[in-house]
Amino acid sequence: MRIPCESVMVRWLRLLSILVCCAFLSTSRASAAELRITLDELARLVQTIADGTTIYLHSVPGGLFTSPSYIAIGSQKYALPRLEKELKKGDSTYAYYVNDMKSASVRVSTVNSALRLTLAMEAEGPEATPSCVSGDCPLISFFPDIEWARPSVIIDFAPVQFDGSVSLQVKHVSLGSTPQAACRPQADIWARAACSIGRAFANQAISKLRTELPKMVKDAVNQADVQRQLAQGLKGYLSVGQAGVVAINTISVAPKSMTVNFKFSTASTAGN
């Protein structure tokens, strides 16, 4: 996997390098030093580059102009598993599929010992719809759509040390509001009454969405290969002008700030 040069972390680390250079220009390169940054300061830096983060959710089969679900950081995309819920009734199989949802904006804020990215999702039409997978599906008109008012995905990140470099690790993911089952507006009075039959299935699909979507996002970003390659790809950017490459020893995070303990690598100081 190739780490994009213009990724969120690369640009953040360039800014971190400037701060390090200004704060420790007179520090001996052979010794360790510390840099303390408030999370509010870090959030302001990340906010300027966070527009490169996108979540797209779509699991409806077929379609020539749609893409499977993914999370993107800059130009690099990471696939997400399909979000669907199937139910077999008699000789027919029904399913709910998430339909064409994409994050529209990203807001960065701080919470206790972490940064919080809130991705507001586009919300036009139903966010999940029932479909017939196989069989005649005589009950399909009984199943309500699933609507998600003011949808958002909330991701809490904490900066972590990784192989002498730095990464952002997802600590918690949640949904900003609760999807609801909704009978279709065009349904007549009998169909509305019958809709209650399918409401239980819709609620099962909602429960699965609320459980699996946060886990999917967290697992996609925190998988070991992504973290390792991200850290390796960022090593080349951990430098401060002619002072050399920064090797991060530890990162400690307090409720409102983080402290980076670092030193310049031995290789960069050789011959001085």
Reported as a single tens digit per residue, the pLDDT across 209-268 is 999 999 999 998 898 877 776 666 556 555 555 555 667 888 888 888 888 787 766 554
Show Cβ contacts of residue 118 under 8 Å, excluding neighbours closer than 6 positions.
106, 107, 108, 109, 152, 153, 154, 155, 176
Instruction: Select the more confidently predicted residue: 27 or 123.
Output: 123
User: What pLDDT sits at residue 245?
Assistant: 62
Q: Does the reported pTM lie above 0.85?
A: no
User: What pLDDT sits at residue 63?
Assistant: 64
C-alpha triplet 77, 246, 232: angle, nearest 5°: 30
User: What pLDDT sits at residue 163?
Assistant: 77
User: For residue range 139-174, what is the model confidence (pLDDT) as tens digits?
Assistant: 887 889 999 988 999 999 888 888 777 778 899 999
Mean pLDDT of 64-85: 82
Other Cβ atoms less than 10 A from the Cβ of 183: the count is: 19
The letter for the amino acid at 74 is: G
Tell me, rounded to whole angstroms, the distance of Cα 137 from its chain centroid: 36
pLDDT at 183 over 90: no
CA dihedral sign of residues 99, 103, 109, 112: positive
Euclidean distance between CA atoms 196 and 17, whole angstroms:
59
Closest CA to 53 of 137, 136, 121, 146: 121
User: What pLDDT sits at residue 18?
Assistant: 52
User: What pLDDT sits at residue 240?
Assistant: 53
- Residue 56 near residue 271 (C-beta atoms within 8 A): no
CA-to-CA dists, residue 268 to 25, 166, 263, 265, angstroms: 15, 19, 10, 5
Euclidean distance between CA atoms 164 and 247, whole angstroms:
5
User: What pLDDT sits at residue 233?
Assistant: 58
Mean pLDDT of 172-182: 91
Show Cβ contacts of residue 148 under 8 Å, excluding neighbours closer than 6 positions.
101, 121, 123, 127, 128, 177, 178, 179, 180
Rounded to 5 degrees, what are φ and ψ at 256? -125, 5
The total number of residues shown for the chain amounts to 272
Residue 144 DSSP symbol: P
